[in-house]
């Protein structure tokens, strides 16, 4: 979702280096406007003072401007320690002194779509949510698919996980029923954290159609996952990072929304279909509780996801 920001900066002549954690870095390598990607060896959580100071020392004197996309205090530490003169970001987490140019940070309910939110850091954004774009050459894609024993557009991809929590995950049983009805094989993508979920889906599907479902959760690099998504006939996912990858590649996709909102983080793709019961006038009783933006359903029923049936998704594939 930061790609349109980087495209704007590149178009006005800025040479771009992106600092990213290793599991995100391959996404930035698929953006031709990025000249360099520095992998930041930071674990999730914790300030990791010594590691940040060490990398900051290596960056001193190299950069004129830093655009700090995350709202966290720790994300603003590195460019401050590196002595980068201009440091642009949003207000948040007591980092007033760490940033030299601060944009007002609206609340979640008032925040524009995240693409526009990030693009505003350029200072010349017009509020338009440009479509993110990733690029993978056909040669690179097909070489990766050959290594994975896949044929271009000869399979579907499902991404049943959602890092945020279960209130964003369509039920495994629904994914399984949908997979059983598709004529082409289904590849499951996700991290190690999605292994149990994906195993449940593949077990159900392969019991009915042996070998029809390939569980690759935690078994691919992100580069391989990017190639698998780019070469798929279509993709089905929750509101997740891989949903935005499919959108950026322009792959036909169906995105299932529950506790979150497609008004906030939509898949910006003309080939995307969003399934969200909140805006379905025929669904009764109305989902007054959505979007709640909670990790787990506060009411304990997750009706916003459970009541989306496999056929509701199948009609878009």
Residues 109, 58: one domain? Answer: yes
What contacts 24+ positions apart, CB below 8 Å, involve 286-290? 290/258, 290/259, 290/261
Residues 156 and 180 in one domain: yes
Can you give the residue range of the structural domain that contains 36? 3-122
What pLDDT was estimated at residue 96? 85
Number of domains into which the chain is organized: 2
**Pair (306, 268) in one structural domain:** yes
Q: Please indicate, yes or no, whether residues 272 and 302 belong to a single structural domain of this protein.
A: yes
Assigned domain for 74 exists: yes
The pLDDT of residue 127 is 54
Model pLDDT for residues 173-201, shown as the tens digit of each residue: 999 999 999 999 999 999 999 999 999 99
Within a domain: residue 266?
A: yes
CA distance 40 to 60: 16
Same domain, 143 and 281: yes
The residue count for the chain? 317
Residue 187 shares a structural domain with residue 282? yes
pLDDT of residue 137: 86
293 vs 262: CA distance, rounded Å: 12
pLDDT at res. 48: 83
The parts of the chain modelled with pLDDT lower than 50 are none
What is the predicted pLDDT for the residue at 112?
80
Give percent above pLDDT 90 in the chain.
76
- Closest by CA to 274, choosing from 291, 290, 256, 258, is 256
Single residue among 95, 122, 149 that ends a domain in this structure:
122
Confidence (pLDDT) at 272: 98
25 and 100 belong to one structural domain: yes
Q: Are residues 118 and 176 in the same domain?
A: no
The domain that contains 242 carries what CATH number?
3.40.50.2000
Q: In this structure, what DSSP letter does residue 278 have?
A: G
Q: What is the pLDDT of residue 145?
A: 93
């Amino acid at each position: 979702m930061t790609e349109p920001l980087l495209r704007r900066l590149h178009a006005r002549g800025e040479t771009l280096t992106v600092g990213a954690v290793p599991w995100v870095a391959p996404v930035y390598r698929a953006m031709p406007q990025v000249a360099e990607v520095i992998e930041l060896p930071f674990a999730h959580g914790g300030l990791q003072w010594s590691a940040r100071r060490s990398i900051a020392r290596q960056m001193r004197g190299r950069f004129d401007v830093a655009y700090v996309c995350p709202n966290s205090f720790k994300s603003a530490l590195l460019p401050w320690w590196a002595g980068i003169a201009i440091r642009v970001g949003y207000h948040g987490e007591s980092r007033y002194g760490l940033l030299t140019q601060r944009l007002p940070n609206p609340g979640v309910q008032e925040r524009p779509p995240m693409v526009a939110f990030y693009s505003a850091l350029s200072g010349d954004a017009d509020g338009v949510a440009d479509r993110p774009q990733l690029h993978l050459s056909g040669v690179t894609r097909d070489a990766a698919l050959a290594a994975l024993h896949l044929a271009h557009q000869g399979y579907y991809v499902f991404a049943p996980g959602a890092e945020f929590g279960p209130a964003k995950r369509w039920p495994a049983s629904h994914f399984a029923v949908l997979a059983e009805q598709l004529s082409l094989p289904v590849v499951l993508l996700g991290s190690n954290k999605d292994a149990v979920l994906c195993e449940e889906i593949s077990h159900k599907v392969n019991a009915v159609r042996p070998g029809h479902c390939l569980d690759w959760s935690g078994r691919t690099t992100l580069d391989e996952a990017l190639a698998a998504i780019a070469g798929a006939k279509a993709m089905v996912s929750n509101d997740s990072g891989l949903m935005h990858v499919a959108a950026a590649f322009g792959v036909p996709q169906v995105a299932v929304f529950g506790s979150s909102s497609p008004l906030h983080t939509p898949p910006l793709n003309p080939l995307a279909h969003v399934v969200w019961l909140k805006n379905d006038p025929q669904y009764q009783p109305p989902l007054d509780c959505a979007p709640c933006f909670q990790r787990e359903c506060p009411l304990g029923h997750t009706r916003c996801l459970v009541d989306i049936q496999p056929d509701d998704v199948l009609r878009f594939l």
